[in-house]
Chains A and B, each alone.
Chain A
Amino acid sequence: MSNKKPSIAIVSLTCCEGCQVAILDLGERLLELTEKIKIGDFALIEDRAEPENYDVVFVEGTPITSQNVARVKDLRARTKLLVTIGACACLGGIAELKNYQNKEQRLRYVYKNFEGIANPDIRPVRYYVKVDLEIPGCPINKEEFLWAAKELIAGVIPKIPQRPVCYECQLKRNECLLQKGEPCLGPMILGGCGAPCPSSAYPCDGCRGPLKGAAINNFNNKLKEVYGFSQQEIDLIMQRFGMLDDMYPSPPVIPKNKIIKK
């Protein structure tokens, strides 16, 4: 990148905006970072017109309305790098739950008048535009964001290490929830979050999505056979942040001889 201060934006599509809040909670470290960059759009803290081009655009949220889709396409055309942050942008997030349900019925359940209310299937941002880096999590780990943002501002696309949540969980010497019989997805989920969930005795529910090449079918079967969870229980967890469709383009095939009858 040139000697000019790099110009960045932090933009929300439809979501809870918790990832922006996490960034804001970097506090003084965010202020230090802003000395080195020009912030073009960060709607939570400022109110002014946007510049023409960006070096890095961070996008949180899910494209739901046509304006959401147009916005992300327009930003892609005007930025060197586009980075998605959070489960909504990277996986679909909780909004994607309706993909696994009858979404028309869900719309009618919430709204008497549903004319003019967008109700598309929910897709991650990468379905609409090219994405240079995904920083997952619900919400993002602000420490990981700061690390990645510094690299990106220097013009480098960082790589998030392909390590499971268990790696960080064990470093924290937590009691293993899976061994206690809780449905913790830690072994197959991408770490980097710092394992806040298992550290709070809350089983990992996969907000960062699966590790590359994770043996998902094996793990799924283990949850059923060894730990006795039903497929419905497992599916509810894997749907929660929208990763079920990423993992299983079609439903998993379980060899018949492996099903243990209760």
Chain B
Amino acid sequence: MKIKIDHIAKIEGHAGFVADIVDGNVVKARLNLYEGARLLEGILQGRSHNEVSQITSRICGVCPVVHNLTSLKALEAALGIFPSEQTILLRRLMMMGQILNSHALHLFFFSLSDFFGIKNDLALIKKYPGRAADALVLRDFGNKTIEIIGGRSIHPLTPIVGGFTKAPDKEKLKEIEKASVKALASAVSLAKFFSSLKYPLFNRECDFVALSLPDEYAIYDGLVKRQKETEPVGEFMPQIQEFQVKENPAAKRSEFKGKPFMVGALARLNLNAKYLNPKAKSLFRETDLILPIGNPFYNILAQAIEMVDCVEETQLFLEKARDIDFESVQSHPFEPKAGKGFGAIEAPRGTLFYYYEVGEDGLIKNVNIITPTAQNLARLEEDMISYLPQLTNGGKALCKEECEDLIKMLIRAYDPCLTCATH
């Protein structure tokens, strides 16, 4: 039996899926990415440290902020520059906006329709106007947070090596503080709604990877935690083995010590749930889920809980950010020097890794970028190998369309970003 889905809509980028099943065993399961290769790491060679973070934000229109900021972090590590506490605070605020706007898009517009067999979001909006409004409130809130600090929500402008070109308008920061009350209510209402949905059954063992800190739900900084082991970013990233598959060479896959692993909201929840803010934590406790959660479909619910956490976190950060002026976040002139640096941030879809080697002239010598989806692809394909038999011959076999819909649903649950994966 062959399963072939030519086009999977409602994900970021273009992909299809193929699987071969022989005597009930899946011999092949592959997500085929149809993105062209833009050779991002290649085209950055020989370009200036002051522009590459603008170019890498163009890897992804859904998560440009995290590409921009992770690139800056790796450059700062290479150049030996330490941004101010206030700069980091504003960046962390931008990251909250990034996770909120991306999760809102994924939860409502990409994944929700799968629970009801609806193929068109306009119909979904008519069916659930209240939830649609919640999603739009959160998307808008995330966008505004980024825009006020970054100058623009898609491809932000103000973050530069060492700081910002401009400080956010204090009045506008107050506006987000006000808007956060409504955003929190929307996030809670969406999280309750996603808790009430029925998730497909599927359990598997899996290694989870996320940034981790001893006392907070790590997003902007941390050590890399894999199961119970932690390592600094600069030691973990070089151990990620990237490889290509012959039939779909442009999108790299990744393994760690010969095993696929999962990054993203579910990984973060599994590893760091005890550090969620109070509202998010109590909502999580109200679900009957027991850690670690093995079912990848719950990545959707994990994102919904994270949205609550992000709004709570935004409120805490905004309180501290009230007095930020340009002096405290401006970048000071520096002479470029040769160096190597790593950087990682938790992107909406999982840990994003950057590595730069900068030459004495300030131009980029070597680059590597490992995106969350490039890490998750191998894990997703392995999931399919164990999930498909459940659909095709476990008990009563599902009809073709039902089977295809569940495959698409699992793919979407990972929230893959194929333009990131290929880049």
Contact = CB atoms under 8 A, between A and B. Distances in A.
Contact of B157 (A46, A103, A202, A237): A202
Nearest to A16: B61
A2 interface: no
Interface string B135-170: 010011001000000111111011000000110000
Contact of B136 (A28, A44, A95): A28
A67 interface: yes
A152 interface: no
Contacts of B7: 43
Nearest to B109: A45
B299 to A, nearest CB: 19
Given A113-B246, A200-B151, A45 B120 contact: yes
A47 B165 contact: no
Nearest to B125: A31
Interface stretch (B40-48, B80-88, B179-187, B261-269): B40-48
A236 B47 contact: yes
B36 A118 contact: yes
Interface in B81-140: 105, 109-110, 113, 119-122, 125, 136, 139-140
A32 B35 CA distance: 31
Contact of B249 (A95, A113, A233): A113
B55 interface: yes
Interface residues of A, number: 64
Interface in A206-262: 233, 236-237, 240
Contacts of A162: none
A62 B113 CA distance: 30
Nearest to A68: B36
B51 interface: yes
Given A65-B34, A118-B36, A200 B158 contact: yes
Contact of A21 (B14, B54, B61): B61
B221 interface: no
Interface string A187-219: 000000000110111100100000000000000
Nearest to A237: B51
Contacts of B253: none
B37 A12 contact: no
A52 interface: no
A146 interface: no
B157 A197 contact: yes
Interface in A80-99: 93-95, 97-98
Interface in A106-126: 106-107, 109-119
Contacts of A47: 8-10, 113, 119-120, 408
A48 interface: yes
B294 interface: no
A94 B43 contact: yes
A40 to B, nearest CB: 12
Contact of A16 (B10, B120, B166, B419): B419
Name which of A44, A112, A197 has the most chain B CB atoms within 10 A of its CB: A44
A15 interface: yes
Contacts of B122: 31, 34, 39, 45-46
B269 to A, nearest CB: 25
Contacts of A111: 37, 244, 249-250
Interface string B351-393: 0000000000000000000000000000000000000000000
B143 A106 contact: no
Contacts of A95: 36, 38-39, 43
B207 interface: no
A107 B43 CA distance: 9
A131 interface: no
23 contacts: A16-B59, A25-B154, A27-B140, A31-B122, A44-B109, A46-B121, A48-B119, A64-B36, A64-B38, A67-B34, A97-B55, A101-B43, A101-B45, A107-B39, A109-B41, A110-B39, A111-B249, A111-B250, A200-B157, A201-B165, A202-B158, A205-B54, A240-B54
Interface of A: 12-22, 24-25, 27-28, 31, 34, 39, 43-48, 62-65, 67-68, 93-95, 97-98, 101, 103, 105-107, 109-119, 138-139, 196-197, 199-202, 205, 233, 236-237, 240
